[in-house]
């Protein structure tokens, strides 16, 4: 392919809405182009990389005996109604009506359709095990599409589904997919971790995520020295044992004027009610956070979360716990509807389903019986001291909504956690019998009895993988593709306008193409300087750059490794051999 | 691939909604499966054929230097608003709103998006010529989705677009595409014709369609001995020269009771007003047909069409002429709104924009000045005789809405037309500057002046091609794939339960796979008889069937050609060679 013919314009400036490197570079280097928020076109360079990612995934899925099919993106409402996902997806689902007024949707994921297809065709344990997959365009109406193709509203996924007659079969299918995913992500070449995952809205049990490790990732995960790793949403808190509270003085309300924040409260406590043993700390206070849950049916429910004052509520952990409800702010009108709530001084006394407000009250698992707290007295400018959990108040249950912090203990006792960020690239998941039960997918077992099939669901973000690789493989000058994914094998540059050099570059181009290399030939003459060509080559990121310049008259070309930056002169006669190595 | 593992159930019965062979067979043989009206899933066999069709198209498009890109299916309203297609598409467009209330659509075709992309990146004549293509999922909310994947609401198309600075460039791009299409359709292997096409709602000028010749096709086309061929919508009527009408008696209304139809009128004329020279014929009468046009903005407009009584209005020709308006029946309420219309006796007196009804009146091109007609007198039970066009009435213009009949003259004088049916498989089209003007795609020419780019648009129905091939290549027993498109090279059957035979078949399978053949191995044992296996093999339609049966002990297998039905015994040692030939 000649640069003078390739449909490409590299851009000097980052797109205005781009924050992460992959977004900036994939747009600037002409791989993708924005059409609408979260909706992108693939230009020739991008499509070539995408096709290579798809090929890797296809090879590894075929290798474990999964069979490829393809479902439509435009789907009828009924199957998603049966599983309640028509409602549960809330505003994330693109819904539309056809000309006859039938409700349809753009598929966000296809559990229902695969279940129904297998039900349609298969009826015996002899037909199983079965694994089906598709590489297909999916739709989610993300509230915050961002980062280019990293989080789009139209995107390409590989989704597969396994069907087994028993749990052992599901476990085997799950492990086969897990091994295939390890091979896929090894080949894609970015650093990744496999973490325990919360199953979210999908229902079911065992579940792991493959995260590309990246500071720009949206997901936070934890690792411990002993080998524990999990998505931060899946981390469970190590609750202390209950402590005896004999001898703790009775709770007493005190005047704490102008202390609506934890910091101001701690300062006031240390000034007005100093402790003997040590200073008051934020962790001694019980903070009560109010939110509104918007349920899929549109109803709004207030929820109070009690947690130690030194921790914030982690929005994603909370969202995971309350899904499919969405979390919205507790607004002025909500305060107005509950006059028992005194803003800045809310305590357990005004919370809980048995309280006057009737607001559901869930507490952090650390707030075990016998722990002692300073918290709001439900009176303006007043807090209660020595309020003891289990003695002076109880909650409606616990919730895993507090932030996880570096140094927190791993739930399996394998040491303190460290936190890092990643991009969710794959998700494997033992769905179990949830979908099969609702949609009545049963087969006859060896004894002629109908049994419900057990399923697994396994996803890879295909378009996202292109961005994840770019996120990992770039430097200040541009993209640095691994060889297996690069849009071309060689980026050939003619540096100079001298007739001999130009003719020589043409000859090198013809020779390399003849040898089977996929070559991008920057044959631009005229006003395009060698400097511009070098810059474009660095930006585009083909792994090997060959420069035909002054040295050509001595039978030498320059070969540059995009990744290491290493340059060396190679005699023309050795070029093919050098490139093959 | 082993039949015991392949995700497949062949069906004995045709699907209830199937009328055409490709629909019946592709469903029965397990290639596709219906999800909703006009929305299908691809099963493993179907997806393999689809991939082979895509490869052929890709190779031929790359060959003419077109570059592949991929646009999203989910598109913003604005570009389609700018070209008015948001409205013109009427109910054929799938429209939806995103969570923020923005109007979006599912792309039926991407002229606007390609135009904007090129405008976005290119600015000089030096960047052109350019041809871009995509193979992508498209959406049209067909009023009558039918025939399985032959006419779906979600379907795959290859659409390409050429961009040139002048008409000569467009002509060259058009011819290059035309040649590529000839190669594509030659390789797909069905019989096809290239016909002149009406450009329909697309605007623009030169346009040809590639039709797969098929009795089940929805399109009618014409051919003449002299080489004229056209889509029936594009046929123009050879209008006779005006004839002098001196000496024709004045028009006279006569009593013609109970003659609301042409047949009853002709009978009555021959009985009550016999001609001297010959009998009255239907072609002597002027029939006036009323319809309602529903415009994209929802308004309803009555339209009267005058044509010789021996011809019917051709719905598709009419629709083409009035697009983007849609044609609806003229209902009782419409008669009520125009009391001047006497049902069964409507004549030109009550029609035309100058008439009392004000209804627009368009006539067939054969109704030239001086022609003489019997037509309604706008009075119950009465017709006018000797009504002369140009003397006694005029219309608001002509319309090409009358049916084309075998024997009609070709418009270019190349002889009488014959009619046949076909499936629209490709459409090539010189769009010209319509989209570039509206969306302001201009480049600087050699003289530094801004000129509007001229465009071509070129489509191939990719998923439809699978059905078109099946429509062409089948017999009573099932599908008969051409070798280049077949899902497998060889269908291997083990016929018998004898251990030696089974082991022999396994060995043949391993050998053929080792030799690089893509083999479907029917390894089913147990209750599946050889007869069932043979039937399935015929239904699935792999070109070569190899049977390992009794002859195996003598070192012989049977090789059957699915297409010719020819069977022959081949010594095992010669099998690979025989299959290669």
ipTM of predicted complex: 0.86
In this prediction, residues A561-573 reach a mean pLDDT of 95
Model confidence at A292: pLDDT above 50: yes
Say whether residue B74 is in contact with chain A using an 8 A CB cutoff. yes
d(CA A401, CA A236): 10
Coil, strand or helix at A512: helix
Could you tell me whether strands B544-548 and B490-494 are parallel, antiparallel, or unpaired per DSSP bridges? parallel
In a domain, A141, yes or no: yes
- Whether residues B130 and A76 touch (CB distance < 8 A) is answered with no
Percent of chain A with pLDDT over 70: 99
Q: Which residues of A touch B69 (CB under 8 A)?
A: 7, 41-44, 47
pLDDT at B184: 98
Question: Which band of pLDDT confidence, cut at 50, 70 and 90, is reported for residue B497?
Answer: confident
In a domain, A345, yes or no: yes
Coil, strand or helix at A337: helix
- Let me know whether B332 and B422 are in one domain: no
Per-residue pLDDT tens over the stretch A432-456: 999 999 999 999 999 999 999 999 9
- Whether residues A35 and B139 touch (CB distance < 8 A) is answered with no
8 A C-beta contact, residue B364 and residue B306: yes
Sequence-distant (6+) residues with CB within 8 A of A401 are A305, A307, A313, A314, A317, A318, A321, A362, A364
- Whether residues A73 and B73 touch (CB distance < 8 A) is answered with yes
Question: Which band of pLDDT confidence, cut at 50, 70 and 90, is reported for residue B205?
Answer: low
In a domain, B241, yes or no: no
- Let me know whether A188 and A224 are in one domain: yes
In this prediction, residues B211-221 reach a mean pLDDT of 91
Q: Which residues of A touch B74 (CB under 8 A)?
A: 36, 39, 94, 106, 139, 153-154
A:381-400 residues touching chain B, CB 8 A cutoff: none
d(CA A477, CA A470): 13
8 A C-beta contact, residue B341 and residue B292: no
* Range of lowest pLDDT (A224-228, A416-420, A437-441, A540-544): A224-228
Please state, rounded to an integer, the average pLDDT across all residues of chain B: 94
How big is the A-B interface in CB pairs under 8 Å? 136
Sequence-distant (6+) residues with CB within 8 A of A206 are A174, A429, A430
- How many CB atoms are closer than 10 A to CB B272? 12
What is the sign of the dihedral through the CA atoms of A292, A293, A299 and A302? negative
Percent of chain B with pLDDT over 70: 99
8 A C-beta contact, residue A531 and residue A524: no
Q: Please count the residues of chain B.
A: 581
What distance in Å separates residue A347's CA from the closest CA in chain B?
37
Structure-block tokens of residue A267: 């300062």
Model confidence at B339: pLDDT above 60: yes
8 A C-beta contact, residue A143 and residue B99: yes
- How many CB atoms are closer than 10 A to CB A192? 24
Q: Which of B6, B76, B141 sits opposite A35 (nearest CB)?
A: B76
Per-residue buried b or exposed e for B14-49, using 16+ beta carbons within 10 Å of the residue's own CB: eeeebebbbbbbbbbbbbbbbbbbbbbbbbbbbbbb
pLDDT at A144: 84
In SS3 terms, A230-245 reads as: EEHHHCCCCCCCCCCC
pLDDT at B145: 84
- Let me know whether B438 and B294 are in one domain: no
Model confidence at A205: pLDDT above 70: no
Q: Report the run of H or E that residue B231 belongs to, with start and end.
A: strand B229-231
Among residues B349, B372, B388, the one where a domain terminates is: B388
pLDDT at B101: 95
Q: What are phi and psi of B406, to 5 degrees?
A: -55, 135
Model confidence at B517: pLDDT above 80: yes
Which CATH number is A522's domain given?
3.40.50.800
In a domain, B346, yes or no: yes
Per-residue buried b or exposed e for A362-377, using 16+ beta carbons within 10 Å of the residue's own CB: bbbebbbebbbbbbbb
- Let me know whether B57 and B196 are in one domain: yes
Q: How many domains does chain B have?
A: 3
Kindly tell me the burial class for residue A431, based on how many C-beta atoms sit within 10 Å of its own C-beta (0-12, 13-18, 19 or more).
buried
Which has more pLDDT, B15 or B52? Answer: B52
B:139-158 residues touching chain A, CB 8 A cutoff: 139, 141, 143, 153-154
pLDDT at B18: 86
d(CA B20, CA A406): 66
> For the range B27-31, what are the long-range contacts, defined as Cβ-Cβ under 8 Å and sequence gap of 24 or more?
B27/B148, B28/B478, B28/B539, B29/B478, B29/B479, B29/B539, B29/B540, B29/B541, B30/A121, B30/B540, B31/B466, B31/B470
- Let me know whether B127 and B36 are in one domain: yes
Helices (H), A488-529: 499-514
Structure-block tokens of residue B297: 């903005």
DSSP B251-285: PEEEE-TT--SHHHHHHHHHHHS--SSS---GGGB
Per-residue pLDDT tens over the stretch A108-125: 999 999 999 999 999 999
Per-residue buried b or exposed e for A230-246, using 16+ beta carbons within 10 Å of the residue's own CB: bbbbbbebeeeeeeebe
8 A C-beta contact, residue A572 and residue A492: no
d(CA A402, CA A233): 10
A:109-128 residues touching chain B, CB 8 A cutoff: 113, 117, 120-122
Per-residue pLDDT tens over the stretch A474-488: 999 999 999 999 999
8 A C-beta contact, residue A141 and residue A92: yes
pLDDT at B335: 95
- Let me know whether A50 and A197 are in one domain: yes
CA-nearest of A457, A546, A461 to A495 is A546
DSSP state of B201: G
d(CA A296, CA A91): 9
Question: Which band of pLDDT confidence, cut at 50, 70 and 90, is reported for residue A202?
Answer: very low
In a domain, A364, yes or no: yes
8 A C-beta contact, residue A462 and residue A54: yes
- Let me know whether A55 and A196 are in one domain: yes
- Let me know whether A377 and A229 are in one domain: no
8 A C-beta contact, residue A450 and residue A261: no
Structure-block tokens of residue A443: 């087969």
Helices (H), A37-166: 44-63, 78-82, 85-88, 111-121
pLDDT at A199: 47
Q: Which residue of B has its CA nearest to A62?
A: B1
- Let me know whether A213 and A82 are in one domain: yes
Structure-block tokens of residue A220: 């936070």
Q: Which residue has the tokens 């029965």?
A: B28
DSSP state of B240: P
In a domain, B395, yes or no: no
Cα–Cα distance list, B372 to A344, B244, B245, B255 (Å): 95, 11, 8, 18
Q: Please count the residues of chain A.
A: 581
Per-residue buried b or exposed e for A392-417, using 16+ beta carbons within 10 Å of the residue's own CB: bbebbebbbbbbbeeebebbeeeeeb
In SS3 terms, B558-570 reads as: EEEECCCCCEEEE
Sequence-distant (6+) residues with CB within 8 A of A45 are A6, A8, A29, A30, A31, A487, A540
CA-nearest of B184, B129, B133 to B157 is B133
In a domain, A244, yes or no: no
In this prediction, residues B50-76 reach a mean pLDDT of 98
- Let me know whether A202 and A322 are in one domain: no
Q: Which residues of B touch A36 (CB under 8 A)?
A: 72, 74-76, 102, 104
Query: Widest CA span of chain B, in angstroms?
Result: 97
d(CA B77, CA B202): 18
Could you tell me whether strands A130-139 and A67-68 are parallel, antiparallel, or unpaired per DSSP bridges? parallel
Q: Which residue of B has its CA nearest to A41?
A: B71
- Let me know whether A201 and A342 are in one domain: no
Q: Which residue of A has its CA nearest to B117?
A: A33
Q: Which residue has the tokens 């093999």?
A: B537
Sequence-distant (6+) residues with CB within 8 A of B126 are none
Please state, rounded to an integer, the average pLDDT across all residues of chain A: 94
Per-residue pLDDT tens over the stretch B270-306: 999 999 999 999 999 999 999 999 998 889 999 999 9
CA-nearest of A138, A136, A102, A103 to B74 is A138
8 A C-beta contact, residue B19 and residue B146: yes
Structure-block tokens of residue A419: 């936190």
Sequence-distant (6+) residues with CB within 8 A of A262 are A282, A285, A287, A309, A310
- Let me know whether B442 and B567 are in one domain: no
Model confidence at B203: pLDDT above 60: no
pLDDT at B201: 42
pLDDT at A48: 98
pLDDT at B324: 83
> Domain range for residue B363?
252-388
Q: Which residues of A touch B144 (CB under 8 A)?
A: none
pLDDT at A203: 44
CA-nearest of A152, A27, A339 to B121 is A27
Say whether residue B449 is in contact with chain A using an 8 A CB cutoff. no
d(CA A135, CA A564): 34
Which CATH number is B318's domain given?
3.90.960.10
Among residues B402, B437, B471, the one where a domain terminates is: B471
Say whether residue A91 is in contact with chain B using an 8 A CB cutoff. yes
d(CA B415, CA B408): 8
Which CATH number is B132's domain given?
3.30.930.10
Q: Which residues of B touch A39 (CB under 8 A)?
A: 72, 74-76
In a domain, B409, yes or no: no
- Whether residues B73 and A143 touch (CB distance < 8 A) is answered with no
């Amino acid at each position: 392919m000649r640069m003078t013919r390739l449909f490409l314009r590299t851009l000097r400036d980052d797109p205005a809405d781009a924050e992460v490197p992959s977004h900036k570079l994939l747009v600037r280097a002409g791989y993708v182009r924005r059409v609408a928020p979260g909706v992108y076109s693939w230009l020739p360079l991008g499509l070539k990389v995408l096709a290579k990612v798809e090929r890797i995934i296809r090879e590894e899925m075929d290798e474990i005996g999964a069979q490829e099919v393809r479902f439509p993106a435009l789907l009828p409402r009924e199957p998603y109604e049966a599983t309640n996902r028509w409602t549960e997806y809330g505003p994330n689902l693109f819904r539309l009506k056809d000309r006859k007024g039938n409700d349809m949707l753009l598929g966000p994921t296809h559990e229902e359709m695969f279940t129904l297809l297998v039900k349609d065709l298969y009826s015996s344990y002899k037909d199983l095990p079965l694994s089906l997959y598709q590489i297909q365009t999916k739709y989610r109406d993300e509230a915050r599409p961002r980062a280019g193709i990293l989080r789009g509203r139209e995107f390409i996924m590989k989704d597969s589904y396994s069907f087994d007659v028993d749990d052992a079969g599901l476990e085997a299918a799950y492990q086969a997919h897990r091994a295939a995913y390890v091979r896929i992500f090894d080949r894609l070449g970015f650093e990744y971790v496999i973490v325990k995952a919360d199953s979210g809205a999908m229902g079911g049990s065992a579940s792991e995520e493959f995260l590309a490790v990246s500071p720009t990732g949206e997901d936070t995960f934890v690792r411990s020295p002993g080998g524990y790793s999990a998505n931060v949403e899946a981390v469970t808190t190590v609750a202390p044992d209950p402590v005896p509270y004999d001898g703790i003085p009775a709770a007493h309300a005190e005047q704490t004027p102008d202390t609506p924040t934890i910091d101001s409260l701690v300062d006031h406590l240390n000034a007005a009610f100093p402790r003997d043993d040590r200073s008051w700390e934020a962790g001694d206070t019980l903070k009560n956070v109010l939110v509104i849950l918007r349920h899929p049916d549109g109803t709004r429910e207030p929820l109070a979360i009690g947690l130690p004052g030194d921790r914030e509520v982690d929005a994603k952990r909370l969202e995971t716990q309350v899904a499919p409800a969405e979390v919205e702010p507790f607004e002025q009108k909500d305060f107005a509807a509950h006059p028992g709530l005194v803003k800045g001084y809310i305590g357990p006394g005004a919370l809980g389903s048995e309280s006057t407000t009737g607001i559901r009250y869930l507490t952090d698992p650390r707030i075990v019986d016998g722990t002692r707290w300073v918290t709001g007295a439900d009176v303006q400018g007043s807090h209660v001291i020595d309020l003891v959990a289990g003695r002076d108040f109880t909650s409606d249950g616990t919730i895993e909504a507090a932030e996880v912090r570096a140094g927190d203990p791993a739930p399996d006792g394998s040491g303190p956690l460290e936190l890092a960020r990643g991009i969710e690239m794959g998700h494997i998941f033992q769905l179990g019998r949830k979908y099969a039960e609702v949609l009545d997918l049963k087969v006859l077992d060896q004894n002629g009895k109908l049994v419900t099939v057990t399923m697994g669901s396994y996803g890879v973000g295909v378009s996202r993988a292109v961005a994840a690789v770019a996120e990992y493989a770039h430097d200040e000058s541009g993209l640095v593709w691994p060889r297996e994914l690069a849009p071309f094998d060689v980026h050939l540059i003619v540096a100079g306008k001298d007739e001999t050099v130009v003719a020589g570059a043409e000859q090198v181009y013809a020779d390399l193409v003849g040898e089977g290399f996929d070559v991008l030939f920057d044959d631009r003459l005229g006003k395009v300087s060698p400097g511009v060509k070098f810059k474009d080559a660095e930006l585009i990121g083909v792994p090997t750059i060959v420069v035909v310049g002054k040295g050509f008259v001595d039978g030498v070309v320059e070969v540059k490794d995009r990744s290491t930056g290493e340059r060396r002169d190679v005699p023309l006669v050795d070029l093919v051999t050098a490139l093959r190595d």
